[in-house]
């Protein structure tokens, strides 16, 4: 909907509100939504009532709001999303079953990493809590998405990079592309107990918007080995996406 008299249209404001519930924040209060969207409380209350009526938003027992089940059903009905889920889930399950490590499918949301599916045991719940939504260039999965993204020359940063920094950044992404995966730094100088690796999932048109990621413990799970596992699984998913796209009714009609 177009903007009228300097005000955002109803549909745009609805998406502003729905967007508040992404990035690892499943529930919001009205005050939270007002702060994020800069909308007045009366407008937020009115929009929440309409969205709740249509099942896009639901109110919790604590007077807070979260996304409703209708959005989940609509999202899973998108053909590309459904094909990705059908191809990725079995591969992720196999990877977790063979390693007993936390594995996930990730994408980007702005300049941050966003987990869209994960497989993990009960003992790895805190792993995902600690991960949060890191800035892309601070995590191997983010580096993968940047390396094969359309804006790979731009690094998420709080300040413009100097020319020598830009060169080092491009070299780093080139190394990721050459290796086929990214992994946490190795060496005794790194104190984080967790290491991660990630590899790109290629769509039918060879674009990359998702990646496979796997985590382990430093000193117990070599990051390069994790990277090879992620790369193998990502290749399996990519092959499934290609064969799944070729097997659609439209493709069969023109075969």
In this prediction the pTM is 0.69
Show the tokens assigned to 229: 């596992």
Q: Taking a C-beta distance cutoff of 8 angstroms, is the pair 108, 114 a contact?
A: yes
Asked if the model's pLDDT at residue 250 lies above 70, the reply is: no
Q: Is 177 exposed, middle or buried (0-12, 13-18, 19+ CB in 10 A)?
A: middle
Question: Which tens digit of pLDDT belongs to each residue from 94-130?
Answer: 999 999 899 999 988 878 888 888 887 666 667 777 7
**Measured between alpha carbons, how far is residue 69 from residues 28, 32, 56, 79, 213 in Å?**
16, 21, 7, 18, 27
> 3-state class of 227 per DSSP?
helix
Alpha-carbon distance of 182 to 145, in angstroms, equals 10
Determine the Cα angle at 238 with ends 69 and 78, to 5°: 25
What is the model's pLDDT at position 160?
67
Question: Which tens digit of pLDDT belongs to each residue from 178-220?
Answer: 999 999 987 655 667 889 999 999 988 888 989 999 998 888 8
- The separation between CA 44 and the C-alpha centre of its own chain, rounded to angstroms, equals 27
Determine the Cα angle at 121 with ends 115 and 127, to 5°: 50
């Amino acid at each position: 909907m177009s903007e009228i008299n300097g005000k955002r249209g109803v549909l745009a404001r609805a998406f502003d509100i729905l967007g508040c519930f992404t990035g690892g924040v499943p529930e919001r209060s009205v005050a939270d939504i007002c702060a994020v969207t800069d909308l007045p409380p009366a407008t937020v209350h009115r929009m929440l009532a309409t969205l709740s009526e249509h099942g896009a938003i639901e109110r919790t027992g604590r007077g807070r709001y979260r996304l409703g089940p209708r959005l989940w059903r609509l999202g899973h009905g998108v053909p590309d999303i459904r094909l990705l889920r059908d191809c990725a889930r079995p591969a992720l399950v196999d990877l977790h079953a063979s390693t007993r490590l936390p594995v996930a499918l990730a994408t980007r949301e702005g300049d941050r990493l966003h987990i869209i599916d994960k497989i993990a045991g009960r003992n790895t719940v805190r792993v995902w809590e600690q991960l949060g939504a890191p800035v892309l260039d601070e995590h191997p999965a983010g580096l993968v998405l940047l390396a094969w993204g359309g804006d790979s020359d731009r690094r998420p940063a709080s300040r413009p990079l100097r020319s020598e920094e830009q060169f080092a950044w491009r070299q780093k992404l080139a190394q990721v592309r050459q290796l086929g995966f990214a992994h946490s730094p190795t060496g005794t100088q790194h104190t984080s107990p967790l290491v991660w690796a990630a590899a790109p999932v290629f769509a039918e048109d060879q674009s990359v918007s998702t990646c496979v990621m796997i985590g382990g413990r430093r000193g117990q799970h070599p990051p390069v080995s994790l990277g090879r596992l992620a790369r193998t699984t990502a290749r399996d998913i990519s092959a499934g996406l290609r064969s799944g796209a070729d097997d659609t009714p439209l493709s069969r009609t023109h075969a």
